[in-house]
Amino acid sequence: MTHPRVGVVGAGQLARMMLPEAIALDVGLALLAADPADAAAQRSPDVTVGGDLATFAAACDALTFDHELVDPTALAEAAGAGAVLRPSPRALRFAQDKIHQRTQFAAHGLPVPEHAIAEHADGVRAAGEALGWPLVLKAPLGGYDGRGVVTVGGPDEAAAALEALGGPPVLAERAVALDAELAVLVARRPSGETVRYPPTLTVQADGICTELLAPAGLHEAVLEAAGEVADRVAALVDAVGVLAIELFVEGGEVLVNEVATRPHNSGHWTIDGAVTSQFANHLRGVLDWPLGSTAMTVGAAATVNILGPGDGHDPRAARAATLAVPGVAIHWYGKGARPGRKLGHVTAVGEEADETRARAQRAASILLGEEAGDGR
């Protein structure tokens, strides 16, 4: 691959943030978009809208993904026609199917929340008796940002919860008493060579990640355990490019929640706060090129996700005022401003964790119009 062309299935914000890294390496990035207005498609000269995956893949040296919701039959067809899929369909399946993922991780001795697979409402009730109420139910396919996750208070709610998730089978799991949530990103080459970023503390509200903090600021033993578990997951999944491992922390123990086989929201701070961003390392892994240092370049990085405000106004109007906050970067995804939609993020970098977080929060509230800024 001297002058490679990498195909990306999907043209959302992750593909958009791969673009500058591809430009820097002078690697061609071809996008398979659903719509010309998709976040990355608006900014790229090399976009295919719709069309057949195998045909798109045939014109690329390697194929990677902006999201995991890709039809396995189409992947198998592309692989059969000689496409280089990075990661492989086998790796992608972990991120596509929560039941497969959880079952495999448990079978390989990884620490996971106690769980059961419920095939009907009685199965949900039996799981609740065994694991305790409330019980967390998850649809195996297609969930993100907490969609596809329902908390069931007791046996009377079992049938309605199952229905809300589109019916069985569902993953039923114990409600973990969360002390914190972490994400660990690794980048991997096809040979298995792996680099790992410092664990990121992820702050959630209503099942949506709102803030990222690096360093995570938890006890060293917890961070070490998180790193070890992440390495084991990466080897089992046989990831190529970036793999994100989301972890629960409960009473000093780490439990694997789920993985994403691609760059991930939890790694957005690496653009401004690490030697090599997750997007650069993803492309390097996909191309089987040497991976870059994951070390932080700053003492602290804090990212706040910008969700569309309830009144529907477009926060971009406040970009200049936001940028008057020192040490802050804005990353905008080019999406229409709908309430609750992830429109972009701001990252603050600095020396000290609390001060850096406060600056990121201030930038976010100026951008959202909740606080006046002093920029013009």
Select from 150, 147, 144 the least CA-distant residue to 163.
150
Among 144, 289, 341, 358, the residue binding ligand ADP under the rule CB under 6 A is 144
DSSP annotation string for 208-268: EEEEEEES--S-HHHHHHHHHHHHHHHHHHT--EEEEEEEEEETTEEEEEEEESS--GGGT
Strand partners, 196: 186
H helix or E strand, kind and range, residue 262 = none
Residue with tokens 């069931």: 152
Cβ-based nearer residue to ligand ADP, 47 or 152: 152
**Distance between first and last Cα of the chain:** 47
Considering the rule CB under 6 A, would residue 178 count as an interface residue with ligand ADP? Answer: yes
Considering the rule CB under 6 A, would residue 146 count as an interface residue with ligand ADP? Answer: yes
Secondary structure of residue 375 in the 3-state scheme: coil
Considering the rule CB under 6 A, would residue 68 count as an interface residue with ligand ADP? Answer: no
Cβ-based nearer residue to ligand ADP, 19 or 233: 233
Considering the rule CB under 6 A, would residue 143 count as an interface residue with ligand ADP? Answer: yes
Query: Tokens at residue 79, please?
Result: 């692989």
Strand partners, 245: 184, 259
Residue with tokens 């694991």: 131
Which region holds residue 330: left if phi is over 0, alpha if psi is between -120 and 50, else beta?
beta
* Residue type for position 226: A
Give the shortest CB-186-to-ligand ADP separation in angstroms: 18
Considering the rule CB under 6 A, would residue 227 count as an interface residue with ligand ADP? Answer: no
Cβ-based nearer residue to ligand ADP, 70 or 291: 70
How far apart are the C-alpha atoms of 45 and 5, rounded to whole Å? 13
Side-by-side strand order, sheet with 5-9:
47-49, 28-33, 5-9, 62-65
Among 5-13, 117-125, 143-151, 215-223, the segment contacting ligand ADP (CB under 6 A): 143-151
Among 69, 126, 175, 358, the residue binding ligand ADP under the rule CB under 6 A is 175
Considering the rule CB under 6 A, would residue 148 count as an interface residue with ligand ADP? Answer: yes
Are 196 and 184 in contact by the 8 Å Cβ rule? The answer is yes
Give the shortest CB-209-to-ligand ADP separation in angstroms: 7
Cβ-based nearer residue to ligand ADP, 145 or 238: 145
Among 117-125, 172-180, 217-225, 308-316, the segment contacting ligand ADP (CB under 6 A): 172-180
List the interface residues with ligand ADP, window 255-314 (CB under 6 A).
Answer: 257-258
How far apart are the C-alpha atoms of 57 and 73, rounded to whole Å? 14
Give the shortest CB-291-to-ligand ADP separation in angstroms: 26
Query: Tokens at residue 94, please?
Result: 């972990």
Considering the rule CB under 6 A, would residue 97 count as an interface residue with ligand ADP? Answer: no
Among 51-59, 120-128, 145-153, 192-200, the segment contacting ligand ADP (CB under 6 A): 145-153
Among 80-88, 168-176, 226-234, 346-354, the segment contacting ligand ADP (CB under 6 A): 168-176
Strand partners, 244: 185, 260
Give the shortest CB-127-to-ligand ADP separation in angstroms: 12
The contact set with ligand ADP (CB under 6 A) reads 113, 136, 138, 143-149, 173, 175-176, 178, 181, 204, 207, 246, 257-258
